Structure 1
Amino acid sequence: MSRRPGPAGAAATLDATPEAAVAAQVRCTLETVFEAVAETRADTAALLTRVAAQGRRPASVDLAALRPGLHLRLARQELVSGVGFVAAPGLLGDVPAWLEWWQTSSEGEVRPLLLDLDPLRSAYSDYTHWDWFALPRDTGQRAVAGPYVDYLCSDEYSLTLSAPVHLEGRFVGVAAADVYLRHFEAAVVPLLQLLPGAAHLVNARGRVAASADPAHLAGSLTKGPDFGAALARARPARLDGMRLVPCDGVPLVLVVLDG
């Protein structure tokens, strides 16, 4: 997308601790993207429920009903560069795998992602090992994957936010949205720079999502504490000269080094 969102709330009064205030701002920034994910999940679950009520398996053509909502989310959410539903293998009756995925080009055009998912020809036929698919499937929770070079969709350095979709308690795929890293950094790095110590954001895997610390570059892996456990604790902690502050429901941890 051509728009570059600014650091909403960067000049806001910092209540509680500065770290807690910055973590709250990061949460607000990503919750706008997770809203798009939640809407896609709800639309997909409702669609699959209607198909099941007809006594048949869904097919890829059924997922076309999701497109008006996906297009609306691309137009409405500044941070969202791609959005859609990724089916669990075997869900659909006519194809082994499917991405009902739409994205915005650099010229602002909304277009579908067209992939060859034939397992005999395509390197992308098995997407189930990617964190944006595996984490929601395995944990039942929302996930932030990356940043990584998104060869599947845009060839851009991106984050993918995702959530599991269930039908009668059965996992059927993920709803997800992409955010270009440059847009995310424009929104959150100025917030990190407000803090007195070097600061960066990591996901549950310890991968740096954004950073104002030259020792921890975006996309690198951070060694040290169990960030998944820090997210599960859902409260700030000090460990080995670092302050760990979960971003209150969004699966990122703010890491601030003691000055």
Structure 2
Amino acid sequence: MDVRSRLAAVGTEPETWVAAQVGGALEAVFEAVAATRADTAALLRRVAAEGRRPVSRDLAALRPGLHLRLGREALVSGAGFVADPGLLADAPAWLEWWQSGADGVVRPLLLDLDPGRSAYADYTHWDWFALPRATGRRAVAGPYVDYLCSDEYSLTLSEPVWFQGRFAGVAAADVYLRHFEAAVLPLLRGLARPARLVNARGRVAASADAAHLAGSLTKGPDFGDVLATARPRTREGLRLVPCRGVPLVLVLA
């Protein structure tokens, strides 16, 4: 059964069904992020029980779990933990980040984080880091060209990691936009009206609406409020449907 046939057969509003399908696709990625968050919090507790601050080599204990998730989750192209500056005793900043290459081999991301040499030394202003730190909630950042990791057009899904009442960094996973679009564009195109997916800031994550391209920043209602209330509504001539469990809004013209 094709997408249009499935939409015709659903017993609820088609846009509600599509939003639920999008949420389900990304929820699997957020489950991988949550597992990394749990592993990191447990690691930080173990280190604290030894009466010391964590150091970069402690984060090597996260690698088996990261490799497992990269091999298991089809949408995930990169995964890891990004430390809040000052968390580690031996490094001012750190990414424990691993990526799956086109050949299927999992490799570490090796970055120069020296602020005197690297333009990417301060990663704290990127949405995938700043949004979870500011809100305490999961976030979808992008799409954007991921110059830090892959030079690919990507989405980054992230969640805050807390330790002893303070923000310790983020657990995160990358999804290449081409893989996300392959999963969701057939659903959007099956709807009767032009449709797009936007994040809390109005950034278009995927679009079947020629007037709003993926990656563009769109004006409109308070999309963050739509996500906070988690209820469909109509505003400014737009139908707005939050995607189940994930911070994206389905917007229909």
Q: 2:60 aligns with which of 64, 68, 71?
A: 64
| Preserved CA contact (<8 Å) 2:36 2:171 | yes
Deviation string, structure 1 residues 210-255 (Cα, Å, up to 9, x no partner)? 0001101000011111111111111000012110000122000000
Matched, 1:186 2:174: no
Q: Residues of 1 paired with 2:5 and 2:70: CA distance?
A: 25
Q: 1:104 aligns with which of 88, 100, 113?
A: 100
Q: 1:235 aligns with which of 223, 226, 231?
A: 231
SS in 2 for 1:161: strand
Pair 243,120 (structure 1): closer, same or farther in 2 beyond 3 Å: same
Q: Which residues of 2 match residues 86-125 of structure 1 at below 5 A?
A: 86-125=82-121
Matched, 1:253 2:249: yes
| Preserved CA contact (<8 Å) 1:10 1:190 | no
Q: Residues of 1 paired with 2:134 and 2:85: CA distance?
A: 15
Quote the residue 1:172 is aligned against: 168
What amino acid maps onto 2:62 in structure 1? L
Query: TM-score scaled by structure 1?
Result: 0.94
Quote the residue 1:216 is aligned against: 212
What is the CA-CA distance between 1:126 and the residue it aligns to?
Answer: 0.4
Deviation string, structure 1 residues 14-42 (Cα, Å, up to 9, x no partner)? 23110100000000000010010000000
| Preserved CA contact (<8 Å) 1:204 1:251 | yes
What is the CA-CA distance between 1:9 and the residue it aligns to?
Answer: 11
SS in 1 for 2:247: strand
Q: Which residues of 2 match residues 76-155 of structure 1 at below 5 A?
A: 76-155=72-151
| Preserved CA contact (<8 Å) 2:3 2:186 | no
Quote the residue 2:50 is aligned against: 54
Q: Residues of 2 paired with 1:163 and 1:14: CA distance?
A: 32
SS in 1 for 2:39: helix
Pair 66,220 (structure 1): closer, same or farther in 2 beyond 3 Å: same
4+ runs of 1 displaced by more than 3 Å? Answer: 7-13
RMSD: 1.5
